[in-house]
A and B are shown apart, each in its own frame.
Chain A
Amino acid sequence: MTTRAGANIRLCRCFILAILGLARASGQTSSPTSIFAPASTPAKSIYGFSLFVLAVTAVIFAVVCGMLIYAAVKFRSRSGEDQKEPLQIYGSDQLELAWTVIPVLIVIVLFMTSARIIHAVQDARMPAGTIEVTVIGHQFWWEYQYPQYGFVTANELHVPVSDPSHPTPTFLRLLSADTDHSFWIPRLAGKTDLIPNHPNNTWIDPHETGTYLGQCAQYCGTQHAKMLLRAVVESRADFDRWVSDQRQKANEAPDAQAEEGRRVFNSTACINCHKVSGSVANGLFGPDLTHLMGRETIGSGAAQNNAANLRAWIQNPAAIKPGVLMPSMKLTDKELDAVTAYMLTLR
């Protein structure tokens, strides 16, 4: 009996190690969006908790599955056996009490640990030095407002790295301009929805610099799939430099072609939706283009931001991102070249 109990414990231990190993391995399979590679306090709290839940469920699985396999194999009817019916057993009060009480205890433990993490993540207070960003979800792109610094940008969130000993977290206020969206960068935090007429909050405090990826996690319409998230985490100095750049007005057009592009841009419907700070373009429906070339991607991550893609995008956005709300403006080739040249000056 003792050896069997020992074997069972060893089996359980193997299971837990296997699960943890799997968790680690999937964290390291170079997926930039793995929930098992946390880099910020909320994601780390969830990660620790998730390992605990995985361990508990692994033990339950090992025990119950072991019983199932044992019963299914051991008590199978064998050919050549007598055809007598087995002993008819109707139940056992002791056993049934046991397998009621043990799950109750497991539920209590899991509830208490959940409640602790929920409180720690959801009810966290903003320390001094917090960066505040208002995130507005649109079909199908992200608007980022920095009210402390007085500028607006789109699709690429910049935040400073947060040293755990002197945390400078970023608190995000989540709003929606149209339908439901969800903000999910798995390595930084769990997801929180952006719901129209229902402001939400979440926070991150990335501990390492780098680019963190994610995407909209609540179905929001045709192009839900290409509403990608990028968060650039920089050193404080780099972040401050980026902020001061963002606060500048757009550059003057340096050459004739760009100047022509600006004229085309300002005299078509582009300006109804897009803003270029310091010009007549003041639209608010689409992304702010004042510092477009500071971003790595266009179309909320649909394509790399380079001259060829920009030109293709302006010519017909739906070819790159079908379902996008930006229409094709039916520009001539010359106008396209000019507008692209103008866009390339928006640094």
Chain B
Amino acid sequence: MASESVPISGSIHLERESGRTWLETLHEWVITVDHKKLGLMYIGLALLFLVIGGIEAMVMRLQLAVPHAQFVSPEVFNRMFTMHGTTMIFFVAMPVMFGFGVYLVPLMIGTRDMAFPRLNAWGFWITAFGGLLLYFSFIGGDGLYGAGGAPDVGWWAYAPLTSPAFSKGHSTDYWTIALLVAGFGSVATAVNLVATVLSMRCPGMTLGKMPLLVWMYLVMGGMVLFTITPLTAAQMMLMVDRYLGGHFFDTQAGGSAVMWMHFFWIFGHPEVYVLIIPTFAFISEIVPVFSRKPIFGYPIMVAATVGIGFVSMSVWAHHMYTVGMASYSNAFFVLTTLSVGIPTGIKIFNWLGTMWGGKIRYSTPMMFAVGFLFQFLIAGLTGIMLGAAPFDWQLGGSYFVVAHFHYVIVGGILFSLFGAFYYWYPKMTGRLLDETLGKWHFWLFLIGFHLTFDFMHIPGLLGMPRRIYTYEPGRGWEVWNLIVSIGAIVQTIGTLCFVFNLIWSYFRGKKAGNDPWDAWTLEWSVASPPPVYNFATLPDVKSRRPLWDIKHPEDPDWKYE
């Protein structure tokens, strides 16, 4: 199949230019406004920070492997979990999702670039700058006070721990400004994605004929516009507090710590969906192609995505069941939180419906997709437990929560992301990732993941709170923590397989051709890697699966849609 490529009108092949110096190449990457180069740079940035955030996680797991360990001091441990959380959310998950988005969306809607190419470049560079600023805190955070270093206030930075009385030096300022500028980058790219989807689609591609991935990125972009804004507002207020003597969050002067929580979580919870909706997008492309069937129930998948987008904006205070809200407020947020489960459940059933009756090929992307479905199911069910306020009074703030959201982020988001890497890497580089290494990566990471995050639930049920640098023996937590730490090592080995695969396959991988997976969306109609202008003439599509129509002229999709 890999050799068969289906030409669609207007695909062009440019010869690679040769004979440039490395400086010219570097210059070209720095000044580029090409969505493909920017997408790859976003992904590269995210991979760099993934390694850094992973090292921070390993420091924590080594410290927690046994009770009363003295591997690192409490100060260092607190910086590690703050930096781990901040890095993984803002400088791994966000950039990688934007990277895949700006790379794939123009190709999938049959256009030549994003709506605002230079804004695209600005969004990337300002995000990268934010990441560097955050890590500069290791050097500059001390300030004149000799206290600090990297921020140690936790990734949600609850007031009043961030006030000058409790956070001396400049570590919190670096954290604030890093997220502020990275937030501007996110908003810029979100504007760009929404504008691109709404105004740049090729002839024939109505909203109802867009690939699901594009729909989901449209919803994700819209959500970013609404969720980053309150975070930015809160960071501004925090800066006013810290530098201009404001009292928004200064509880000693009548400010409100609870207000910070509301601001943070009205960003923080939709943020989870900002990250998981692109994940759904990858799964909604991978599962149909490898099951050899169209997505089951396209209209309801779109409706469920938009529904999640709206409902997820009204669930934030389920992070605050223990802060002393009135009983009816708690009940309200139980209802909204559990309601998110309905559209999410619909999606899981529709993916199963897509697999049902298909001929499933277990290439590495599909293995990661099935892993995603299994783990996302469990993550959703522990989410129901946490969403039910009374149960959350016991589980909230414990290791059960840590296990739950890592199940979402690692078991869900990261698994589907690995699937996306195996699926689109051939398009991005022209070479397939090695399947044998891919299977090693999958099984090692799967085993490591389950060792770590299955057993991490148990100390939570046995009363172990999160964010403690050490714990007391005799509480029944020791053996579980040791297993969790061992699992982290196995995951690290799995990730090394992946990183090695990325590098090795770039030089030695099998040539991919235009369409190695026999897929149906427009990005597979162009060369791998796609030429600068993607399409010499814009394609004209009639259905959601334009390449299916070409490959099966006797039974085209547009007859049924």
Chain A interface (Cβ < 8 Å from any Cβ of B): 26, 29-36, 43, 45-46, 49-50, 53-54, 56-57, 60-61, 64-65, 67-68, 71-72, 75-77, 81, 85-92, 95-96, 99-100, 103-104, 107, 110-111, 113-115, 117-119, 121-123, 174, 178-180, 182, 184, 186, 189-193, 195-201, 213-226, 228, 301, 322-323
Contacts and interface: CB of A to CB of B under 8 A. Distances in A.
B349 interface: yes
B373 A222 contact: no
B517 interface: no
A334 B235 CA distance: 52
Contact of A75 (B358, B378, B384, B476): B358
B374 A117 contact: no
A336 B243 CA distance: 43
A30 B258 contact: no
A113 B390 CA distance: 10
Contacts of A103: 341-342, 345-346
Given A75-B357, A77-B359, A100-B346, A193 B322 contact: yes
Interface of B: 73-75, 78, 152, 154, 158, 160-161, 166, 251-252, 254-258, 291-294, 296-300, 322-324, 327, 330-331, 334-335, 338-339, 341-342, 345-346, 348-350, 352-353, 355-362, 370, 373-374, 377-378, 381-382, 384-385, 388-398, 458, 461-472, 474-477, 552, 555, 557, 560-561
Given A33-B463, A86-B293, A121-B390, A191 B385 contact: no
Nearest first, the 3 A-B pairs at minimum CB distance are A190-B393, A33-B463, A31-B476
B476 A34 contact: yes
A64 B348 contact: yes
A198 B388 contact: no
A191 B322 contact: yes
Contacts of B471: 225
Nearest to A29: B476
A197 B256 contact: yes
A75 B356 contact: yes
A91 B298 contact: yes
Centre residue among B361, B370, B469 by max chain A CB count within 10 A: B469
Nearest to B561: A90
A121 B324 CA distance: 12
B394 A186 contact: yes
A323 B388 CA distance: 36
B259 to A, nearest CB: 10
Given A219-B154, A222-B74, A115 B331 contact: yes
A224 B299 CA distance: 49
Contacts of A301: 472
B360 A77 contact: yes
A198 B257 contact: yes
Contacts of B350: 91, 96
Contact of B342 (A96, A104, A214, A215): A104
B463 A180 contact: no
B390 A190 contact: yes
A214 B345 contact: no
Given A32-B475, A115-B334, A118-B334, A322 B298 contact: no
A180 B153 CA distance: 12
B258 A195 contact: yes
Given A77-B360, A179-B160, A31 B463 contact: yes
B374 A114 contact: no
A268 to B, nearest CB: 25
B255 A197 contact: yes
A224 B468 contact: yes
A46 B393 contact: yes
A215 B462 CA distance: 12
Contact of A65 (B257, B374, B398): B374
A219 B470 CA distance: 13
A200 B324 contact: yes
B60 to A, nearest CB: 12
A60 B468 CA distance: 33
B86 to A, nearest CB: 14
A125 B393 CA distance: 19
B327 A180 contact: no
Given A114-B331, A221-B161, A71 B352 contact: yes
B349 A61 contact: no
Contacts of B349: 64, 95-96, 99
A192 B345 CA distance: 31
Contact of B461 (A34, A57, A96, A182): A34
Given A34-B476, A65-B377, A75-B356, A26 B467 contact: no
Contacts of A226: 470
Contacts of A77: 292, 359-361
Contacts of B252: 196
A15 to B, nearest CB: 12
Given A30-B476, A71-B355, A85-B292, A225 B470 contact: yes
A100 to B, nearest CB: 6
Contacts of B322: 182, 190-193, 217-218
A92 B257 contact: no
A68 B166 contact: no
A77 B357 CA distance: 10
A117 B463 contact: no
B243 to A, nearest CB: 20
Contacts of B561: 90
A317 B256 CA distance: 32
A228 B356 contact: no
